[in-house]
Amino acid sequence: MYVRSRDTREKKSLLRRLVRWAVVAVLVVVVCAATAGLGLRIGIDRAVNGPDRRAQLRACQQKLALPAYRPDTPLAERYHRLNLRDRGISLRDMIGVYRWGALTAASAFGVYFVVPAAPKPYYALMELLAAVLALWIVIGLVHGGSLPGAATAAALIGFSLLLCALSLHHSWVSDFQAQGRYLFPLLSMAGFALGSARHRARDRWLHFLVPAMFLASVYNFIVYALA
C-alpha cells in the first residue's frame, strides 16, 4: 500500500514537472515567433521604404494634407486639437477641461459622427457595468489568496493603467480624438483574466453583466446609429 501511494505521488510530481516544462517551451516558442515576426516586418519595411520612412511620411503629409494638418503650418493655425502639449495645455486640463476620460469612454461604447449620439444615461450605464465587471474579474482572481491569481490581477491592473496612460499621452502630444478603440486591448486582457478565473464562469454576476452590456449596445446601435 505504501509503495503504491509513493508511486502515485512520484507520477503526479513527474506530471507537474512535464506540464511546467511544456508551458515554458510554449512561451519560448511564442517569444521566438513574435521576435522573428517583428524582425521580418522591420526588414520588409526597410526594403520597401528605405531607412527614411518617417521623412517620407512627413513629405506625403505635407503634400496631401489640408493646411490645418500640415507639419510646417504654424501652431496657431493648425487644427485646434493637435499638439495640445505644445499649446500649453496641461494633463490636468486634458482630463478636466477637455474631458479626455469621458469622451474616450463614450466613444468606446458607441459614438457616431464624432459626437456622442446616445443620451448620457446610456454611457453612464455602460461605464457602471464595465466597472462592476472589471471589479468582479479582479475579485475572482484574488479570491482564495492564490499567488498566481494575485499576480494575474496585478498584471491586469498594471497593463490596463499603462494602456490608458499611453492613450492619454498620445492625445496630449499628438492629436486629441474621441478614440475609445485605443482601449480595446482591454477586452483581450479581460478575456485572459476570465480564462484564469474560469471556475467562476457560472457565476450569476457574469451572466447578468455581459448580456446587459450587449443588449444596451444593441439598443444604442439600432435606435441611434441607424436612426
pTM of the full structure: 0.74
Average pLDDT over residues 177-200: 81
- Cβ neighbours, 10 Å, residue 174: 13
Tens digit of pLDDT for each residue in 75-115? 888 888 899 999 999 999 999 999 998 888 888 888 776 55
What pLDDT score does 88 carry? 92
Q: What is the rounded distance in angstroms from the CA atom of residue 221 to the CA atom of residue 73?
A: 38
C-alpha dihedral (139, 201, 164, 37), degrees to nearest 10? 130
Q: What is the per-residue pLDDT for 6?
A: 60
pLDDT of residue 116 exceeding 80: no
Q: Stretch 4-14: mean pLDDT, rounded? A: 67
Query: CA 194, 200, 203: angle at the middle one, nearest 5?
Result: 115
The CB density around residue 118, as the number of other CB atoms within 10 Å, is 22
